[in-house]
Each structure stands twice: as structure tokens, then as C-alpha cells.
């Protein structure tokens, strides 16, 4: 039992417990200033909460660090949407984030990237490997397929909507092209970032996954209804003939 790596959880500034993580990951969070001296850390082995700076194996890492917030603190992660000045309120127009408060949204931004596309720019192409989903922050896009050299538009993707969630979950190839109808700003959640979110903060990932699942179910119901209607129409047309 003495050889088992200690396990920790960190109480974040957003009231979300991050973890469980091992000592190397926790030390990495401290060096990134995501965990500070005043952060509450739960030691699984002792079943108790302690201030990070009071834990013997962590003390040395706080000698030059001032007290501050816990996980997801004031310094956004480099390259994240938060580091580009995107505010939590900007996500309010997206249904998948409707049940999250501002603190949770601020933390979620740490796991997303911001991408900008010019009009007519390709966002994804049919057949390429899928490793991310996208949410539309600004602009408009279209999902299309090319059949016998002609474009068929399957749907228009507006502000607040998202796409690519299936490839995010199964890592399969893209089923359609997605092209920007106008200059657009998207938020990207990569597979790596999504897996990191689930590992670090499952309580933060749960409402997002639930909202995405509800959207997928709604789309399936709509497609099923269209399929039923098309069969009914074909049978009626055949009977008329």
C-alpha cells in the first residue's frame, strides 16, 4: 500500500472539485498557478481537506508564489478562448451552456480555442479525421455535400449552434463539408481538451454532455420524422400512379 501514488482533489474557484489527480499533475497545476497556496486540497488517503501550502509534499512549491484563487485562477491558459478575452456572457446565446453559471463558463473557456474563418473558408471537409466539435460565436456556416459536382446544402448553422459533436465522441471521419457563409468566429473543443476536461473536472463536463446528448436526440427524432414522411409520400405517389 505504501507504493500507491497519493491522490488529490482541488476545490476550484468555480465551486467545482477538480480531480482525482496524482502528485505530478498537482505539482504541474501549482507551477501553472492554477492552484495557489490558499486552495483547498482533498487528500484521498486521509479523507480530509487541507490548504495546499500546509501539505508537506507541496510546501516547497509555494515559496515564491503569493496567495490567490484555486484551479482556473486569474491567469487564463495560453491559447485558450479565455486568453483571447472571450467573456462567459458570450456563451449565453448557446443552448448547451444555458444551465451553467458564469464561474462554470469561465472555467469551461479554459478548455476551448477560438478560431476565425473568412467568408467561403472551409472549416471541415468530408472524409477528414474528426478530432473536435465547434460552436458558432459569430457569423453563419453551411453544411453541404457535393453530389455529381453539384452542391447540396443540408443545413445552415447559425450563432449559438454547434456541429462536429459526433466526431468528437467517436473520432470518425467527417460526414459533410462545413463552409463559412460569412466571416465567422468559432469556439473549438478538441478531443484532447475534452478528455482533459472529463479527467480534471467531471462535474463541469456532465451538464455539457447532457446538453449535447439532448441536442443529438432532438436531431435523431427530426431525421426519423423526415424519413417517415418521405416513405409516406413515396407510397402515396405510387398509389396515385
pLDDT tens profile 203-232:
889 889 988 888 888 878 887 887 888 887
List the CATH code of the domain at 82-221: 2.60.120.10
Output the pLDDT for position 88: 82
In the chain, domain spans: 7-62, 82-221
Cβ neighbours of 17 (radius 10 Å): 17
Burial degree of 126 (CB within 10 A; 0-12, 13-18, 19+): middle
Strand partners, 144: 153, 177
Task: Indicate the helix (H) or strand (E) that contains 197.
Answer: helix 191-200
Instruction: Render the burial of 167-202: b for 16+ CB within 10 Å, e for the rest.
Output: bbbeeeebebbbbbeeebbbbbbebebbeebeebbe
pLDDT of residue 225: 84
Least confident of 49-63, 72-86, 186-200: 72-86
At 144, give phi and psi (nearest 5°). Answer: -145, 160
> 197 CB contacts (<8 Å, ≥6 apart)?
108, 111, 204, 205
Q: Which residue has the higher pLDDT, 57 or 70?
A: 57
Q: What is the pLDDT of residues 15-63, one digit of tens each?
A: 888 989 899 989 988 888 889 889 999 998 889 999 999 999 998 888 7
Q: How confident is the model at residue 1 (pLDDT cuts 50, 70, 90)?
A: very low
**What is the model's pLDDT at position 61?**
86
**pLDDT score, position 122:** 95
| Residue 133, pLDDT score | 94
Tell me, what's the pLDDT at 73? 47
Instruction: Return mean pLDDT, the chain.
Output: 85
- Asked if 76 and 87 count as a contact pair (C-beta separation under 8 A), the reply is no
How far apart (Å, rounded) are the C-alpha atoms in residues 189 and 184? 16
Q: Average pLDDT for residues 106-115, to the nearest whole number?
A: 91
**% of the chain exceeding 90 in pLDDT:** 40
User: Domain 7-62 adopts which CATH fold?
Assistant: Dna Ligase; domain 1 (3.30.1490)
Residue 159 has pLDDT above 90, yes or no: yes
Average pLDDT over residues 139-153: 93
Residue 2 — very low, low, confident or very high, per pLDDT cuts 50/70/90?
Answer: very low
Asked if residue 101 has pLDDT above 50, the reply is: yes
Q: Give the pLDDT of residue 231.
A: 86
Provide the pLDDT for residue 67.
Answer: 47
Cα atoms in the 13 Å half-sphere on the side-chain side of 216: 13
| Distance between CA atoms of residues 143 and 131, nearest Å | 17
| pLDDT above 70 as % of the chain | 89
Q: Do domains 7-62 and 82-221 have the same CATH topology?
A: no
The stretch 154-159 carries a mean pLDDT of 93
Amino acid at each position: 500500500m505504501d507504493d500507491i501514488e497519493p491522490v488529490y482533489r482541488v476545490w476550484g474557484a468555480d465551486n467545482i472539485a477538480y480531480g482525482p489527480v496524482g502528485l505530478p499533475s498537482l505539482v504541474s497545476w501549482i507551477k501553472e498557478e492554477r492552484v495557489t497556496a490558499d486552495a483547498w486540497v482533498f487528500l484521498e488517503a486521509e479523507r480530509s481537506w487541507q490548504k495546499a501550502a500546509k501539505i508537506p509534499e507541496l510546501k516547497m512549491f509555494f515559496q515564491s508564489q503569493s496567495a490567490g484563487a484555486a484551479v482556473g485562477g486569474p491567469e487564463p491558459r495560453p491559447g485558450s478562448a479565455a486568453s483571447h478575452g472571450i467573456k462567459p456572457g458570450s456563451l449565453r446565446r448557446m443552448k448547451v451552456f444555458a444551465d451553467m453559471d458564469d464561474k462554470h463558463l469561465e472555467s469551461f473557456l479554459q478548455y476551448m480555442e477560438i478560431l476565425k474563418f473568412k467568408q467561403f473558408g472551409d472549416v471541415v471537409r468530408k472524409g477528414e479525421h474528426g478530432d473536435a466539435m465547434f460552436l458558432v460565436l459569430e457569423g453563419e456556416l453551411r453544411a453541404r455535400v457535393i453530389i455529381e459536382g453539384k452542391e447540396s446544402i443540408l443545413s445552415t448553422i447559425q450563432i449559438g449552434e454547434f456541429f462536429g459533436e459526433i466526431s468528437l465522441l467517436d473520432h470518425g471521419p467527417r460526414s459533410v463539408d462545413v463552409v463559412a457563409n460569412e466571416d465567422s468566429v468559432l469556439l473549438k473543443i478538441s478531443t484532447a481538451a475534452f478528455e482533459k476536461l472529463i479527467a480534471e473536472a467531471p462535474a463541469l463536463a456532465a451538464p455539457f454532455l447532457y446538453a449535447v446528448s439532448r441536442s443529438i436526440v432532438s436531431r435523431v427524432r427530426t431525421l426519423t420524422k423526415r424519413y417517415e414522411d418521405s416513405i409516406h409520400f413515396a407510397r402515396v405517389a405510387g398509389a396515385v400512379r
